[in-house]
Structure 1
């Protein structure tokens, strides 16, 4: 009797390349040659030719792209060369006036801006660590983040720094407006700091987790963690060009520069990645919208004005864009790729995106702050034909599905997803207990997400905290949610578990109907019953005008659950 196939994924992308392309990209001496080296005491597959620091990566890009635009704000623009001058001036200011050196933390709480990006780059240039405080935190939450990371300097914009109260910041720690720091830094413009004494594994960024089930933890990312993700993306781009080269441009026509809109907050992994990676891994310009809530009209106008080539966002944003009545009034022909992560795309949304934007390559990644977003990736025909999958393992990445005891499950079984890659974080800042709980002895990261591996692909089932246990049956809300949004009269949906006196819990659906719809709760129950097992059919349906979302596009199910408990107790 044959043994079941274990739930394990390695990167297999090289096997899809013609031999000559594989040799040119991945062979000995090639730009993306992969070798095994020690990373924090463990063997890992790494890129042999890689920058050793984030600033080194930016310098490489800037030397070839000095006169190309890098940062575009509503008020002005910076070329690569101009941005480097401001970054160096800011780094010297941090070192000489504020005593910031290797390992020191600089806390930032601000809305997205080019000046915020320049400060981030100045901090990592100095060998210091960005403590990225959440811009929506309240006073006690900001105080907690400051206390945990113990910054030597706190910087931000006026609106967010106003939340700090006397005593929020320890005595002797300066608190500065971003604009004031940039004015002070001009004294040092024209000079460059000496390279700091640091290694690839020197921490660069502290990203705070969402904290929906407790106080946020500070996921600490090193230069190596972030650079490895950048190299993975460079390889992906090189493979795409090699396999499907762009049509030849007329003689003398330069290839359009890549451009993306920085909409995700820069205290979040996707916003930080756009700032630290997109700017340095590719000759790309970063477009910053005016301050304020995300609006589809602003997004479409910026796309047209700056010839944006890549849209990156979350499903709710793409839904609003696709269904915007003025979509056809804007020139979005420059968009070549649409990517997302952090929230799973419902199959119905993938089909709608492909139908309305057939010439754009769609992709979605599965990862998290603790892996710099690295994990699996799906795109192109695979995404369209198998939208319920989050794809295959990315380069340098291994994926396993395990049971509660840590044993690898057979393929097709649902269990906790584990990830191993050089991009797995160093640990949680000043929290060895949480670090030990998240990383095993071989630095496999326990994601807290449930999924299964089938035919070389990962299928995401649910967060561990989302899973509903009904009378001994495990119910994964994402399966019900995907069915719900396929209904022609449903705009959005979320499912949580509600208490039942005999079964323990049962599913409840929160539904946002499309405008003008008269869909009923019974219609929805019958729709689910036609495709799902009886125990997965929602026991209750509640209609909402909108669902509560975080600013990074995740449904706040903990808020729905809290409201449910409050209503049940009233």
Structure 2
């Protein structure tokens, strides 16, 4: 087939959603100089999202923490008070306000208050070392920095410049809660939809973290595009009307798994206002599958969103069947590829749930492609079709669009694509072309309109001139009944260039050995893809967002092999 740009088109039969004046009416407008599809009747900025949906959802619970519950009304009132507190300390439009903290109530409200003020959230990674925190602060140059206890200790060790004003995040706690008689109004500063809103730092696996700068437009556009899929489903496959006297539909709810310094944290935060959802926050600390199951049962949680590693731990929990998970009707996430074996397990353990996974990244606020519904059964090894209001291309090293079925770099365009990297024009120019196509750095192919993710470019292994995509081998390994986790990396070889190394975490009681691993892979994959080296570990190294730190594995294994 010929080279193609894959463009999302409104589905047939759902015209009522796109009619003039309808919530999802679509038009084409210039976005930063490039014509893009946008929602005609959209809100103008994140502050308008706060006020518009607070008016709709009011006294419904929005944020449920172990120590405090805030309704939508409470969040708006608290936001106004914190924004006034910021203004007293000199925060104006365009300033950065940095946060280094676990997910606590004052962080969430501080996030809203920063954006309502026209300032920019600098989302410092809570797992960073003192040196990394210093880098984030020197790059974003915040007017104010907020930290919780553990992060405050690291900040003080970092040797911050004298002009950096640092506050303990608990200083905002007294400003949280319901409306008060003397409450200030929300800020009224003008905010354009293409003004910067949030800095999300890259994982830094290829060097110093860069700060992806997301705009108000990005945060307004994404939830509309995300909720469009549900609206289309409701039109094309309407559910029967509830019987007379039936209980009112439950408020949508989910457990907040993602940290607020990551796209998996900020997306649920903004989307909850569109959907009127209750977000249940676990206690501060390491994520626990047991706590996740307990909170699901306690709050009758309806939605689970997590990375593959967390789903494996949840679904293989020895006491999974002892918990009531019947309330879970929506399951999905992103952050890494979901193997067909994991999708099968999700369907088995949560048969009542609608499955949906996606492919995206911080630079696109998680947008790119989406796989859900019956498509999961048809193309379980894929990451789905182009997401609503997005465009996809696969390009070669010369930036030419390749023929369908050929592997190349995945490129994404749409109103959800970021502004660029903060204070890094060179990196921005490398990532965004003149037509605002974002070069993702991921390899993939499109076959019959379906996107298959092959590997990150830096993860690809070249063995004797053969390109090897680790994901293919990892999926095969995860199908083995005795393998809990697997990661595949390339290690140096003086003749072949690289060899395949597989790092395996076994399930308890397993007797699988290296020869068994190689035999298992060789039964399905070509000989050159069979791991030369098989290393067994108790655990894989992960970053704060659940991604395997392959560069660490590569370095460790290379050193071990060199040492003999």
Aligned to 2:34: 42
Specify which of 338, 348, 358 is matched with residue 355 of structure 1.
Answer: 348
Q: How far is 1:29 from its partner?
A: 2.3
**4+ aligned runs moved over 4 Å, structure 1:** 184-189
Matched, 1:270 2:264: yes
Q: 1:30-429 counterparts in 2 under 5 A? A: 30-95=22-87, 97-165=88-156, 168-183=159-174, 190-250=183-243, 251=245, 253-275=247-269, 277-429=270-422
Aligned mates of 1:185, 1:339 — CA distance in 2: 31
Please tell me whether the aligned partners of residues 7 and 452 of structure 1 are also in contact (alpha carbons under 8 angstroms).
no
1:399-425 superposed Cα distances (whole Å, 9 cap, x missing partner):
000000100000000000000011110
Aligned mates of 1:171, 1:494 — CA distance in 2: 43
Q: How many residues align?
A: 560
1:466-522 superposed Cα distances (whole Å, 9 cap, x missing partner):
000111110000001111111112111110011112111111111112211111211
1:559–1:188 CA distance, 2 compared to 1 (3 A): farther
Aligned mates of 1:569, 1:536 — CA distance in 2: 22
1:368-403 superposed Cα distances (whole Å, 9 cap, x missing partner):
000000100001221133111100111110000000
Please tell me whether the aligned partners of residues 89 and 189 of structure 1 are also in contact (alpha carbons under 8 angstroms).
no
1:195-238 superposed Cα distances (whole Å, 9 cap, x missing partner):
11220001110000001110000000000011111110121121
Aligned mates of 2:468, 2:533 — CA distance in 1: 15
Q: How far is 1:569 from its partner?
A: 3.1
**Greater Cα shift, 508-517 or 144-153:** 508-517
Aligned mates of 2:186, 2:352 — CA distance in 1: 45
SS at match of 2:156: coil
Q: How far is 1:167 from its partner?
A: 7.0
Aligned to 2:5: 8
Aligned to 2:541: 548
SS at match of 2:374: helix
**Greater Cα shift, 423-432 or 165-174:** 165-174
Q: How far is 1:551 from its partner?
A: 2.3
Q: How far is 1:120 from its partner?
A: 0.2
Specify which of 469, 482, 493 is matched with residue 462 of structure 2.
Answer: 469
Aligned mates of 2:173, 2:86 — CA distance in 1: 11
Q: 1:481-520 counterparts in 2 under 5 A? A: 481-520=474-513
CA root-mean-square deviation: 1.5
Aligned mates of 2:181, 2:48 — CA distance in 1: 21
**Greater Cα shift, 221-230 or 235-244:** 235-244
1:306–1:167 CA distance, 2 compared to 1 (3 A): closer
Aligned mates of 2:130, 2:305 — CA distance in 1: 30
Please tell me whether the aligned partners of residues 93 and 118 of structure 2 are also in contact (alpha carbons under 8 angstroms).
yes
Please tell me whether the aligned partners of residues 7 and 453 of structure 1 are also in contact (alpha carbons under 8 angstroms).
no
1:320-370 superposed Cα distances (whole Å, 9 cap, x missing partner):
111112212222111111111111011111111112211111111100000
List gaps (5 residues or longer) in structure 1: none
Aligned to 1:456: 449
List gaps (5 residues or longer) in structure 2: none
SS at match of 2:459: coil
TM-score (norm 1): 0.96
Aligned mates of 2:45, 2:34 — CA distance in 1: 20
Please tell me whether the aligned partners of residues 79 and 186 of structure 2 are also in contact (alpha carbons under 8 angstroms).
no
